[in-house]
């Protein structure tokens, strides 16, 4: 097997986007993944480029709501009882990241990342020949009553400060944007800075096809160890510069290099309904219930929630069922039969920001993981930043807030 100078570990949407950007710079690149392209969260996500989602999950609001949510095993945020001792250290870091000063810093960094994601997305799609897969339909966030809406207003003030456009709606105005909603939703907010992809799995596979057509090599094999000169894999040793983009499994590989990264797994659930005649006009978010409904080429996807349960526990598909039942109640005309359930792993760091930059003590390893539920959204921005780092150019935005070394004082 030939050596290559750059090895991207991970064939999800982030890893393949990075590979294409490096390839476009004329650099020799190969990709390796334990299951192949689009085998993880890149296949089953909601398909949204959620550019307006600049507020970190780690926040005082989440901390205040957590006790209520955690007592509901099917609620928006849950931790399986048997996993609680294992995740306790991560939760302490999450609590530290929820301090107001840290939230302000994280919001500012996330806003810069989202602007870069918006700026890089369409040029990237054009280069890949995939611009036809993009939909610019926006997002509608709905609220049950004035109290729930009022509670969301501080978040919109933060969006306004970062020049993120939105429009508040109430009463009959809501039906103009989304017919068929239950009258229990009295307020809503439309965010135009939202786009979706035809189908996230098809999109990721198309990236893989483009990379291969350009002469790139995609290997299917298990990466076991980061070495001084590359990686050890089930296919043999590979030497070169490493881009670590293995999603929720990235921290396990970082540990083989002696570096502990506080990454946890948001287990996301969804049900994809077969194509039906329900008129879903844009990405629909039920924030108070922790799930969304998105329109794909193949049908409608109902999913979301956060289950902090690691990589090894069996799926709890009752969570998918609970969201589907709510979707039926909230959209009375929605047909919910014949759906396909799915569960995937989303890599989450305590402050909600990804890790982008050199692995501490290992200049030969560049991290590109930890995007939580924003992996698709930030994929092209991450690719552009990694390509800048590798080629020795100054990144387009300040990447200090995303440095993997930011956790050193926590460990």
Domain that holds residue 164: 6-410
* pLDDT tens digits along 121-135: 999 999 999 999 999
Asked if the structure places residue 313 within a domain, the reply is: yes
Whether 106 and 352 have beta carbons less than 8 Å apart is answered as: yes
pLDDT for res 71: 63
Asked if the structure places residue 236 within a domain, the reply is: yes
Whether 268 and 305 have beta carbons less than 8 Å apart is answered as: yes
Asked if the structure places residue 1 within a domain, the reply is: no
Q: Which residue's entry shows tokens 């290992």?
A: 362
**DSSP 8-class letter at 98:** T
Q: Which residue has the higher pLDDT, 290 or 69?
A: 290
Q: Which residues contact 294 (CB under 8 A, 6 or more apart)?
A: 46, 47, 48, 196, 280, 283, 284, 300, 301
Q: What confidence tier does 2 reach under pLDDT thresholds 50, 70, 90?
A: very low
pLDDT of 4 over the 70 cut: no
Q: Which two tokens stand for residue 346?
A: 């989303």
Residue 136: φ, ψ to 5°: -110, 80
* pLDDT tens digits along 100-152: 999 999 999 999 999 999 999 999 999 999 999 999 999 999 999 999 999 99
Asked if the structure places residue 183 within a domain, the reply is: yes
Determine what percent of the chain is predicted with pLDDT higher than 70: 98
Residue 236: φ, ψ to 5°: 120, 180
Task: Report the CATH number that the domain containing residue 406 is assigned in CATH.
Answer: 3.50.50.60
- Mean pLDDT, residues 273-282: 88
pLDDT of 346 over the 70 cut: yes
Angle at 90 between CA 161 and CA 17, to 5 degrees: 60
The distance of Cα 181 from the centroid of its chain, to the nearest Å, equals 27
pLDDT for res 61: 83
pLDDT for res 409: 58
Asked if the structure places residue 66 within a domain, the reply is: yes
Whether 226 and 233 have beta carbons less than 8 Å apart is answered as: no
Asked if the structure places residue 277 within a domain, the reply is: yes
* pLDDT tens digits along 247-277: 999 999 999 999 999 999 999 999 999 977 8
Angle at 139 between CA 134 and CA 145, to 5 degrees: 170
* pLDDT tens digits along 12-39: 999 999 999 999 999 999 999 999 999 9
Handedness of CA 197, 201, 202, 208 (dihedral sign): positive
The number of distinct structural domains making up the chain is 1
Q: Which residue has the higher pLDDT, 49 or 40?
A: 49
Q: What confidence tier does 67 reach under pLDDT thresholds 50, 70, 90?
A: confident
Q: Which residue's entry shows tokens 């004082």?
A: 409
What single string gives the DSSP state of each residue in 223-290?
Answer: EEEE-SSEEEETTEEEESEEEE--GGGHHHHHHHTT-----EEEEEEEEEEEP------SEEEEGGGT
The distance of Cα 381 from the centroid of its chain, to the nearest Å, equals 13
Quote the crossing angle between the two packed helices 13-24 and 100-128, to the nearest 10°: 60
Whether 48 and 280 have beta carbons less than 8 Å apart is answered as: no
Asked if the structure places residue 353 within a domain, the reply is: yes
- pTM confidence score: 0.95
Asked if the structure places residue 260 within a domain, the reply is: yes
* pLDDT tens digits along 222-245: 999 999 999 999 999 999 999 999
Instruction: Express the helix, strand and coil content of the chain in percent, nearest 5 each.
Output: 40, 25, 35
């Amino acid at each position: 097997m030939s050596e290559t100078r750059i090895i991207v570990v991970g064939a999800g949407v982030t890893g393949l986007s990075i590979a294409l950007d490096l390839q476009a710079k004329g650099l020799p690149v190969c990709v390796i993944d334990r299951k192949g392209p689009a085998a993880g969260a890149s296949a089953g996500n909601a398909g949204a480029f959620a550019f307006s989602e600049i507020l970190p999950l780690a926040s005082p609001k989440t901390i205040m709501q957590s006790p209520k949510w955690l007592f509901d095993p099917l609620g928006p945020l849950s931790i399986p009882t048997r996993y609680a001792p294992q995740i306790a250290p991560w939760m302490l870091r999450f609590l530290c990241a929820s301090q107001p000063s840290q939230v302000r810093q994280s919001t500012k960094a996330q806003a810069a990342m989202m602007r870069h994601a918006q700026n890089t997305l369409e040029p990237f799609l054009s280069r890949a020949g995939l611009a036809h897969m993009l939909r610019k339909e926006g997002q509608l966030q709905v609220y049950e009553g004035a109290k729930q809406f009022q509670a969301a207003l501080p978040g919109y003030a933060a969006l306004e400060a970062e020049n993120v456009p939105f429009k508040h709606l109430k009463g009959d105005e809501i039906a103009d944007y989304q017919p068929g909603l239950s009258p229990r939703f009295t307020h809503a907010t439309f965010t135009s800075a939202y786009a979706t992809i035809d189908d996230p799995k098809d999109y990721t596979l198309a990236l893989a096809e483009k990379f291969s057509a350009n002469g790139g090599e995609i290997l299917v094999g298990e990466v076991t160890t980061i070495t001084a000169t590359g990686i050890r894999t089930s296919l043999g040793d590979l030497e070169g510069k490493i881009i670590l983009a293995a999603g929720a499994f990235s921290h396990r590989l970082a540990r083989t290099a002696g570096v502990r990264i506080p990454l946890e797994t948001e287990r996301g659930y969804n049900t994809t309904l077969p194509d039906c005649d329900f008129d879903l006009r844009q990405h629909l978010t039920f924030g108070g219930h922790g799930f969304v409904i998105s329109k794909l080429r193949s049908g409608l996807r109902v999913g979301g929630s956060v289950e902090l349960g690691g990589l090894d526990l069996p799926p709890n598909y009752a969570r998918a069922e609970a969201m589907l039942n709510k979707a039926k109640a909230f959209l009375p005309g929605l047909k919910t039969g014949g759906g396909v359930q799915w569960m995937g792993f989303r890599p989450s760091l305590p402050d909600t920001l990804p890790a982008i930059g050199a692995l501490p003590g290992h200049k030969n390893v560049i991290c590109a993981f930890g995007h939580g539920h924003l992996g698709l959204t930030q994929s092209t921005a991450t690719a552009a930043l990694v390509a800048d780092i590798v080629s020795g150019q100054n990144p387009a935005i300040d990447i200090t807030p995303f440095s993997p070394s930011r956790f050193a004082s926590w460990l």
